[in-house]
Structure 1
Amino acid sequence: MRGEIKRNHYNVCIIGGGITGTALAYFLAKLGENSVAIFEKSYLSSGSTGRCAGGIRQQWSTRSNVRLAMRSVKLFERYKEDVGMDIEYYQGGYLILSYDEFEAQQFEQNVKMQREEGLEVEILSPRQVKERFPYVNTEGLVLATFCQTDGHANPHKAVIGYALAAQRMGVDIYTHTEVLGVDVQNGSVVGVETSRGYVKCNVVVNATGPWSREVGMMAGVDLPTESYRHQILVTEPLENFFPMMAISFSGNFYMRQTMHGQFIMGQGDKDEKPGINYNVTFKFEKELVEKMVKVFPFLKNLRVIRHWSGMYNMSPDAQPIIGQSKKVKGYYYAVGYSGHGFMVAPAVAEALAELILFGKTLHTDISYLDVERFSGRVIEREKNVV
């Protein structure tokens, strides 16, 4: 992957070697387009994908996001068979806990809509939560929702699986190769300037996560995204007994147990300022640990073994920004996932590959996610975000 550039021209150049970039390359090649190159300035999954908790859920507050996530789950369910790698995908469910009366009412409306979309979701009382998950402290809990087909997977393995499958179909992947500029002439993409030389192309795809706005501006495309640090920690392992992802928007936390027994958990910080920042803080550890041992008392004597940070590339409505530029022909983007890129990337990549090759999507409508939605229209904000 570090070798010299093999060709001086590709039909499609993808900037970014995370889950979106590698999945897109895979779906393009699967549809017959193998004149594709991925340029990643570091190693595969070195950005947001490799720093996330790996959750995969379909419980959203907007109907369109539910549809997108449901399609992604179908693709994750077939991943091992289709792509050829075990990514530790497990449908242990998502338990969403509400500690707020108004939010609980919203959850009931959400579930009604989710069921209309064909998603099997339960509403659980605190008593039902305690009966089913006795290791959860339900003090202060108003209600919970649970969807068994939600789950989690290993993000690194998912990226590598897509990358290897794409390579087998003829895609070239260049790691440690930074894109320094996008060449636009007469309103069309004609090439990219990389740290290893110039490459001609017909299509450029911005799949750069935290750097989406800067890479957009290389082509004169304004993508209204900002990146915010989110911290995460992992504990020493326990024997596996916690199958689901537990999450709370009002409680501001999420947690799951890995296949090897460790607990991964994190929370948002309302005081976080935008900008690329990979530092970690003791304040985060202290706040999160104090909160989590109250909700999950079994954590009390566990040791923290690692703590890191990653970027949420946020959009104004906390929904991804996906589509093609109206200003620059051949410039496409899949950015602004707002912390949920891993879980919806398969459906996004499939749809974007179809859009690039056929001019329309065949499986999932993504037209509502185009950047044009911010041009004076009333936007619907996704509420189910930590």
Structure 2
Amino acid sequence: MNQPTLPSHAEVVVIGGGVMGASTAYHLAKRGIHDVVLLEREEFFGQGSTGRCAGGIRHQFSTSINIELSIKSLAMLQNFQQETGQTIDIKLCGYLFLLSTPAEMQQFEQNVALQNSHGVMSEIWTTEQIAQRVPLLNLDDIIGGSYNAGDGIADPSGVVNGYIAAARELGVKAFNGATVTGIDTQAGAISTVHTTLGSIETKTVVNAAGPWSA
């Protein structure tokens, strides 16, 4: 697919074409900001951290903000095909964390209590409960576990491709092979993003380049 010419100006430039950058570009456009340019240095979108992740989906976090984000994210993922037209092979097969020390058990008991307070039905399992449900596990050094049946997995590449396609439908211009080489500022504000495909004047940059952000 031939790429459009890099525009000379954009309201927002998003750096990084993984799941975070693709989602950001899509949701900006969905909220009415259509003059968005997405830049990815690799040949394909989602080749960085996104392409190397296992695609895990879970509610089992230790802070309220992450739990609430997980609730909203799962709702989006469950309706992803309807919203973007892209299948993501989502499977809510459950997550089981195995715990081997009293300190871990105490921390996860606190985590589960916090998750329950947000309406997330995680559970603490004894070794007997684990053995009943996963009989092939070696539990010699395990004292318990934390389980949530609503956790699972999805296809990271599908999520990225869905967001990119839906963002483009809303007017976002997304580019591969566009390595950012510099960012100019004037009076303390961003003015220009320089790339291997050209330069873009903008006042707003979202840096979603993962490890390359540094």
- Does TM, normalized by the shorter one, top 0.5? yes
Letter in 2 for 1:19: V
Give unpaired runs (5+ residues) of structure 1. 214-386
**1:134-188 deviation digits (Å, cap 9, x = unpaired):** 2222222111111111111111111011001111111111101111111211111
* CA apart distance, 1:2: 5.5
Q: Give the Cα separation in 2 of the matches to 1:75 and 1:56.
A: 12
Pair 2,39 (structure 1): closer, same or farther in 2 beyond 3 Å: farther
Partner of 1:176 in structure 2? 177
- Indicate conservation of the 8 Å contact 2:80/2:86, yes or no: yes
Q: Give the Cα separation in 2 of the matches to 1:49 and 1:87.
A: 14
**1:105-140 deviation digits (Å, cap 9, x = unpaired):** 111111111111111111111111111122222222
Partner of 1:25 in structure 2? 25
Aligned to 2:202, what secondary structure does the other structure show? strand
Displacement over 4 Å in runs of 4+: none
Aligned to 1:9, what secondary structure does the other structure show? coil
Q: Give the Cα separation in 2 of the matches to 1:119 and 1:83.
A: 26
Partner of 1:3 in structure 2? 3
Aligned to 1:202, what secondary structure does the other structure show? coil
- Indicate conservation of the 8 Å contact 2:21/2:38, yes or no: yes
Q: Give the Cα separation in 2 of the matches to 1:30 and 1:15.
A: 18
Q: Give the Cα separation in 1 of the matches to 2:103 and 2:2.
A: 53
Partner of 2:189 in structure 1? 188
Partner of 2:199 in structure 1? 198
CA RMSD of superposed structures (Å): 1.3
Give unpaired runs (5+ residues) of structure 2. none
**1:338-384 deviation digits (Å, cap 9, x = unpaired):** xxxxxxxxxxxxxxxxxxxxxxxxxxxxxxxxxxxxxxxxxxxxxxx
* CA apart distance, 1:189: 1.3
* CA apart distance, 1:6: 4.1
Letter in 2 for 1:14: V
Q: Give the Cα separation in 2 of the matches to 1:4 and 1:81.
A: 27
Partner of 1:352 in structure 2? none
Aligned to 1:136, what secondary structure does the other structure show? coil
* CA apart distance, 1:52: 0.6
* CA apart distance, 1:208: 0.3
Q: Give the Cα separation in 2 of the matches to 1:132 and 1:56.
A: 21
**1:68-93 deviation digits (Å, cap 9, x = unpaired):** 22221121122121121110111111
Q: Give the Cα separation in 2 of the matches to 1:6 and 1:49.
A: 24
- Indicate conservation of the 8 Å contact 2:16/2:39, yes or no: yes
- Indicate conservation of the 8 Å contact 1:10/1:201, yes or no: yes
Q: Give the Cα separation in 1 of the matches to 2:2 and 2:202.
A: 20
Partner of 2:140 in structure 1? 139
Partner of 2:114 in structure 1? 113
Q: TM-score, normalised by structure 2?
A: 0.95
Q: TM-score, normalised by structure 1?
A: 0.54
Partner of 1:332 in structure 2? none
Pair 22,201 (structure 1): closer, same or farther in 2 beyond 3 Å: same
Aligned to 1:182, what secondary structure does the other structure show? strand
Letter in 2 for 1:136: L
- Indicate conservation of the 8 Å contact 1:2/1:174, yes or no: no
- Indicate conservation of the 8 Å contact 2:6/2:197, yes or no: no
Pair 2,51 (structure 1): closer, same or farther in 2 beyond 3 Å: farther
- Indicate conservation of the 8 Å contact 1:59/1:147, yes or no: yes
Partner of 1:60 in structure 2? 61
Aligned residue pairs: how many? 213
Letter in 2 for 1:18: G
* CA apart distance, 1:64: 2.1
Aligned to 2:178, what secondary structure does the other structure show? coil
Partner of 2:104 in structure 1? 103
